[in-house]
Amino acid sequence: MGRARKGVAPVRDVLANGAVVTVAETRAIPAVAISAVVQAGSVFDPDGLPGLAHFVSRTMDRGTRTRDADAIALDLDSRGVSLSVAINRHVLSLTCQCLTDDFEPTLALVADLLVHASHPDDHVVKRRSEIVTAIQQDEDNPATMANEGLLRLLYPGHPYGRRPRGSVGDVEAMTPDMIRRFHRDHVTPGGCSLVVVGDVQAPAAVAAASRALSSWVAAPPVAPRLPAVVEARERQRLIVPVPGTPQADIAYGFTTILRSDPTYYACWVMEVILGRYALGGRLGDRIREREGLAYYVFSGLDANVVPGPLAIRAGVNAANVERAVAAIDEELTRFAADGPTEQEVEDTKRYLIGSLPRTLETNAKIAHFLQTAEFFGLGLDYDQRMADHLRGVTREDVHEAARRWLDPSRAAVVIAGACEA
């Protein structure tokens, strides 16, 4: 069992079945956040069935060997617990918050769902119509369509390019057996990280987690088969019509780096200067503050276990789309040519280092931070070391990252809205 010395100071233990348990004590409110993550995100969707992991997340909390949907519903609602089951590309997560007094029964329920979820046939039918409705809502939403279009252009033939919920046709082809098989293959203790943060005693919480999960036995997790990501050599453009919407959404981006890349911190600082510092960074200064083109413009960098996307997003009136895209092109070109100022780099580093206490302001935020640290192997004391990584970034490092990645001639540009394809 390891323990970091100060800061969040989590306790971490690995159970005999491979499940990792991490606990951090806080005392602000008499409540506990629970986060269970398994390696069952959308990259594990079988070929031809995108959306299966998402479907699993919708039925996972609707029955186990010993509890039916009504019993689970009453367990949660009578304690005021709102359980969220969600997926991203790599993991499926169960997260909730409960009062301290309800910690052990709530943890037992979460464990029961991981180990014994039954995905009942009748709930597969009910949840299917909700998913179909959600997919249709996505298709009416220019922001979602622009984002999905961007990933499709950046990741052809790669799971990152697929729709996380699949299409209506995909979802209609999924059977209860497929859902249960996916759960059996991918929801396994060897791929599980359980994080508990809140008003608990760490040794007692680790012991409770051990009791809840130790009987869980399953085959080791299957590593995803991911094709190599191919960097674009030329500019691509896609228009996705979404009729009737007054505002168009722009998604503009590149494939970039792994989270483990040594230039990660320089890229992070670069991306924050570009599109996040204060109100949207340099892009916000230009497109929102000076030109008044958009209410929102921002960037995001998702460096991951595959070279993740750097995406720029903006919502603009259809008449202003070309002007906004040209402004993004110009800002990227200028950043790559001239680099950042010393002041921008120093201010951004101070901002990111100084933001850490806010990042750790609530139990749920600490749990998310610890899950990220576990997923990328950043260490139990990452909250203590992150600042040193950032302090080491120089202006030249950031300029080099800008030169390397901000090249409009290789950008993928997607426009979704009431426009003609």
C-beta of 17 vs 359, nearer to other proteins: 359
* Cβ closest to other proteins, residue 205 vs residue 294: 294
Taking the least distance from each CB to other proteins, the nearer of 31 and 194 is 31
User: Which CB atom, from 13 or from 331, has the smaller least distance to other proteins?
Assistant: 331
Choice between 71 and 219, CB closer to other proteins: 71
| Distance of closest approach, residue 369 Cβ to other proteins, in angstroms | 13
Q: At its nearest, how many Å lie between other proteins and the CB of residue 394?
A: 18
Count of CB atoms within 10 A of residue 407's CB? Answer: 15
Question: What's the closest the beta carbon of residue 168 comes to other proteins, in angstroms?
Answer: 8
CB-nearer residue toward other proteins: 218 or 416: 416
Query: Which C-beta is closer to other proteins: that of 106 or that of 188?
Result: 106
Residue 287 CB, nearest distance to other proteins (Å)?
Answer: 10
CB-nearer residue toward other proteins: 289 or 338? 289
Q: How far is the CB of 50 from other proteins (least distance, A)?
A: 11
CB of 351 to other proteins, least distance (A): 4
Smallest gap from Cβ 282 to other proteins, in A, equals 10
Minimum Å gap between C-beta 341 and other proteins is 12
